A = this chain, B = another copy of it.
Amino acid sequence: MIEILDTTLRDGTQGEAVSLSSDDKIAIAKRLAAFGIPLIEGGWPGSNPKDAEFFARMKGVDLGETQLCAFGSTRRKGLRPEEDPSVAAMVEAGTPVVTVVAKSWDFHVLHALEVSLEENLRMIEETYRYLVGEGKRVIHDAEHFFDGYKANRAYAMETLRAAVRGGADTLCLCDTNGGSLPEEVYEITKAVREAFPGVTIGIHPHNDAELAVANALAAVRAGATHVQGTINGYGERCGNLNLTSAIPNLMLKYGLELKGLSRAKLAQLREVSHFVDERANLTPNLRAPYVGDAAFAHKGGIHVSAVLKDPRTYEHVPPEVVGNTRRVLVSDLAGRSNLLAKLAEAGVEVPKETAGALLSEVKQLEHAGYAFEGAEASFYLLAHRLRGGAMPFSVEGFTVFVHVADADPETPTWAEATVRVRVGGTLQHTAAESQYGPVSALDKAFRKAIEPFYPEIAEIELSDYKVRILSGQEAGTASGVRVMIEMRRGGERWSTVGASKNNLEASLKALTDGYAYALVKNQPVFKG
């Protein structure tokens, strides 16, 4: 039975561009508990007030079977544990489990911590004895264990003995600098496993050599049963062990039982991964193993036709076991068979004659800077239009006026937009203003124009908006921008694309495609 400790909320937030508010941290803790993670490391209460606030707020939150851990370090030199404010903060966090980082590499003890080798051993033993006396389960995070073991094996092992004497019940071996190799991790973990019978052995890898997942698996093969990592591999430098890869590898490849996690829970993996990215406001990694949008996406023509015959030909596991789906990509590498498969996937039947016109229009739009990978609603809309489907409206023009009177960031800015939209036989000419800039003003004016005809659009929200400049090569003729928009209505989401030299025109194209898709997708003609 393997026990996972998730440290997204502590070590994960050390990653560049990762920033979580207390609300985000509470939402993530609840989601990970519902997923079934048995141990969640919530933060370092002794190091910053935000983390202390998190633990205070979590006292009223029920996580079911999941236990929360507070992180901290061994007492400072010369103090008794009960006198050290950072140790006291761990106790006050009120969690049943504490994770305590301690030095195992003599070089670090002498040059970073600047204490004697003997004092470091006393700091470990005394801190743990005190924490165990306070009723805590103590997990010993042996910082730089592998580097320490290679530099001074006897001393590294001595630090583990001090931890066990102090009452630690888990010895977690950290590859803090992330540079260890799987065969070293295997051998060293095995030596520790043999030297400490009856003690839980853990592994905490980092990804600096792109080997964190392999190192976690190597440690488990050598007898480790406690694994520390983060969702999506967030963490300092190149990140921590990516649990969204390690969990399915342990369950599906090694057939191991993971505490709290079942096959049914595993099918939530992609959703958990995206939930955390969403909360951290980070773009999900397209190519992430198991959970990425591209993980089961087939582009090469040969791959596509073989996968359509039998998915095992180019998939190592079925996408649905991790909550992902198979996708066929449309691109200039792909031929007519990808295009037709893509349409069939959406239940759209396109006559062979139309397929040729569609392929050529897709290529022409790609040349102008469009990208339909990741903007599938725009692609379906194009197919709908080419096979003669009715469009709910057509945009005939717009104006935008923005005036910013002074550069004081406290002064609200002001934007006004007009749009001309033909809906059925009527030309709607509407205007709106917004404090949120021209795209917001355009969106409001556009909604005003079509809402009398399609009141259901009131339920639609814009959930993501991204702009990217196009290079000369990519745009074919001139530089411009590509706008990608995601909309949602309840739990349903769809994405669209617009490209233009003018970012407002590209934005309006992507916006109006989003509304049009929502309006036509249930029409019988679109269903084929």
Q: Which A residues form the contact surface with B (CB < 8 A)? A: 13-17, 19, 21, 23-24, 47-48, 50, 107-108, 111-112, 176-179, 181-183, 207-211, 213-214, 217-218, 221, 233, 236-239, 242, 245-246, 248-249, 253, 281, 286-290, 292-301, 303, 306, 309-310, 312-317, 329, 331-333, 366, 368, 371, 373-374, 394-407, 409, 412-413, 415, 435-440, 462, 464-471, 473-474, 478-481, 500-505
Contacts and interface: CB of A to CB of B under 8 A. Distances in A.
Contacts of A400: 400-403, 438
A287 B253 contact: no
A332 B14 CA distance: 10
Nearest to A474: B281
B406 A14 contact: no
Given A437-B481, A438-B503, A15 B287 contact: yes
| CB-based closest 9 A-B pairs | A179-B316, A214-B214, A437-B502, A467-B467, A210-B245, A16-B294, A413-B502, A400-B402, A465-B469
Given A16-B373, A182-B217, A436-B479, A501 B413 contact: yes
B306 A112 contact: yes
Contacts of A368: 409
Contact of A236 (B292, B298, B500): B298
Contacts of A182: 182, 214, 217-218
A317 B180 CA distance: 11
A504 B438 contact: yes
Contact of A413 (B217, B296, B301, B505): B505
B310 A111 contact: yes
B16 A208 contact: no
Contacts of A300: 14, 236
B501 A437 contact: yes
11 contacts: A16-B286, A17-B371, A209-B249, A213-B214, A238-B289, A238-B295, A395-B407, A404-B502, A413-B502, A462-B469, A465-B468
Contact of A402 (B208, B281, B504): B504
Contacts of A412: 501
A395 B214 CA distance: 53
Contacts of A306: 108, 112
Contacts of A50: 332
Given A437-B503, A503-B437, A213 B217 contact: no
- Interface-centre pick from A213, A287, A294 (highest chain B CB count, 10 A): A287
A236 B299 contact: yes
Contacts of A371: 17
A510 B44 CA distance: 35
Contacts of A332: 19, 50
A312 B500 contact: no
B502 A402 contact: yes
Given A213-B211, A470-B281, A317 B179 contact: yes
A16 B470 contact: no
A287 B466 contact: no
